Amino acid sequence: MSVTTAGLLQLGVLLVLLAVVYIPFGNYLAAVFTSGKHWRVEKAVYRVVGVDPDAEQRWTGYAAALLAFSFLSIVLLYLLQRLQGLLPLSLGRGAVEPGIAFNTAVSFVTNTNWQSYVPETVMGHLVQMAGLTVQNFVSAAVGMGVAAALVRGFVRASSDRIGNFWVDLVRGTVRVLLPLSFVAAIVLVALGVTMSLRAGVDVTGVDGAQSTIALAPTASQEAIKELGTNGGGIFNANSAHPFENPNGVSNILEIFLLLVIPVCLTRAFGVMVRDTRQGHVLLAVMGVLWGGLLAVAWWAETHPNGPAALLAGSALEGKEVRFGIPSSVLFAVSTTGTSTGAVNSLHDSYTGLGGGVVLLNMLLGEVAPGGVGAGLYGILVLAVIAVFLAGLMVGRTPEYLGKKLGRAQVTAAAIAILAMPTVVLLGTGAALAQPGELESALANSGAHGLSEVFYAYASAGNNNGSAFAGLTVTSPFFQSTLGLAMLFGRFVPILAVLALAGSLAAQKRVAPGAGTLPTNGPLFGVLVGGTVVLVAALTFFPALALGPIAEALA
């Protein structure tokens, strides 16, 4: 069997698995965020934290609760790292440096999981499990809650309530993430992923030399790392490490886990707005973007330039031989399209065009299909912009799902889509204006060096977490600026989306008229897809031309 045939079979298996679970799991997700009943374990949590689960919040109250929870999470995770030397299961590792602790706390709370440290030498098991893994659950639940709040804004009429943040947080964790992660972790262990509280195991090499291979409670973090589109590895090599991702079956399972919730949330959206075709349109846009970028990256990595790659017949540098190019590219496009950041190959070693694809995937706003919750509310914001542009072209007040889109709604949507380009371009520009910082941090010059810096801030601003490895970001400048990029890239769009949800919920429903643009058909899908590409093209084309495009043409 050829490598291409094997890759196509893997792709086919992945698509079949997603198709099988799409309707039942999407329906379940819709039920999670619309049910009026509370589970016993959920009621116990509400009593402990003093929350009335039946009291819904205005968008301002929802936002305040979300920000307070996230701020407290950052503080607690920072303190946990700084006090590591006093904690059990620290494995003899002392307190994490202040800059790394701040960056890591912000990173995991914002669902970015950017790592500027070597996990197996810096973090003890307790910090990994009680700190980082917990944030993998709750940060993903926050994203789902925001998406559910926005959908409620479209569904409700003449209301000032968009739900209860604490209920959405608990339900997303208890009803979705915990049970699925538990099952996935068991399957991963069966496939060969390690699960141990030991620090490591001593081995003897073929030359007789003694060495220690690090161990960790890997499977439990690997499952939620992918399912929650988090991405932070328990080992420095991330999902390229054989203890995290030992074979082709585990590789397909991990790709499935990082895609399944974002994909099925489109079904949940259609069910919640009582028109499943609305969800199908969004899924089609996501699928076309994902499939198109996958095809380009696959072609680029199998048709490289450069003498070494041409001699090998493909760009194999930085790729695990047990996966090869098809599985590596499939993982890379899926992880950068879902704000996951996990990697099973070195993106820095991709060809100019291949590296440009994974970078562009983030710059599109990570809506193909996007992170857990973030992908749905991200593409809905772009759909609002698309409807507004269509209304301008025909001279009518735009309407979407029975709600008029006026100045308040379009302003909120514009803030949501402009926040990411602002932090990415300002951050990249600030770094490039610091030659002293780049001299010691940047391993490459020219177009590829620019791509490395650009990729770092695109990853942070989009809450992705993957990186081009040629940039060392351990200095205070990078720790702080990337941390700020993560904060603003996460919470400014969330606040704008919640404001949009509140303004939509307050409106009365408008009956469709003769001039209403149908939003459940192919024409609207083309309009939304064109808006996604147009926004990224106008914003980032100059930077892309100087970086990956220039490298690809060299």
* 235 DSSP 8-state letter: S
Q: Is residue 478 left, alpha or beta, with left meaning phi > 0 and alpha meaning psi from -120 to 50?
A: alpha
Q: What is the mean pLDDT of residues 243-248?
A: 95
Report whether 470 contacts 444 (CB < 8 A): yes
Tens digits of residue pLDDT in 195-243: 999 988 888 777 778 888 899 999 999 999 999 999 998 999 999 999 9
Q: What are the pLDDT digits (tens) for 448-458?
A: 999 999 999 99
Per-residue pLDDT of 80-127, as tens digits, reads 999 999 999 999 999 999 999 999 999 999 999 999 999 999 999 999
pLDDT of residue 4: 84
CB 466 within 8 A of CB 371: no
Q: What is the pLDDT of residue 186?
A: 98
Of 551 and 334, which is predicted with more confidence? 334
Residues 353, 262, 271: CA angle, nearest 5 degrees: 140
The four Cα atoms 407, 410, 416, 420 give a dihedral, to 10 degrees, of: -110
Q: What is the tens place of the pLDDT at every residue in 30-80? A: 999 999 999 999 999 999 999 999 999 999 999 999 999 999 999 999 999
What is the C-alpha to C-alpha distance for residues 204 and 209, in angstroms, rounded to an integer?
6
| Reported confidence tier of residue 316, pLDDT bands at 50, 70, 90 | confident
pLDDT reported for residue 446: 87
The mean per-residue pLDDT over the stretch 435-440 comes to: 84
Q: Higher model confidence: residue 387 or residue 440?
A: 387
The span from the CA of 405 to the CA of 496, in Å, is 15
pLDDT of amino acid 444 = 83
pLDDT tens by residue, 124-156: 999 999 999 999 999 999 999 999 999 999 999
Instruction: Summarize pLDDT for 327-382 with one digit per residue, the tens.
Output: 999 999 999 999 999 999 999 999 989 999 999 999 999 999 999 999 999 999 99
Q: For helices 476-505 and 134-155, what crossing angle results, to 10°?
A: 30
* Residue 514 near residue 313 (C-beta atoms within 8 A): no
3-state secondary structure of 442: strand
SS (H, E, C) 77-142: HHHHHHCHHHCCCCCCCCCCCHHHHHHHHHHHHCCCCCCCCCHHHHCCHHHHHHHHHHHHHHHHHH
Round to whole Å and give the CA distance between 269 and 34: 11
Eight-state DSSP code of residue 443: S
Q: What is the mean pLDDT of the chain?
A: 93
Taking 90 as the threshold, does the pLDDT of residue 442 lie above it? no
CA distances to 45, 221, 470 from 53, in Å = 10, 29, 48
- Picking from 461, 429, 467, 432, the residue whose alpha carbon sits closest to that of residue 446 is 432
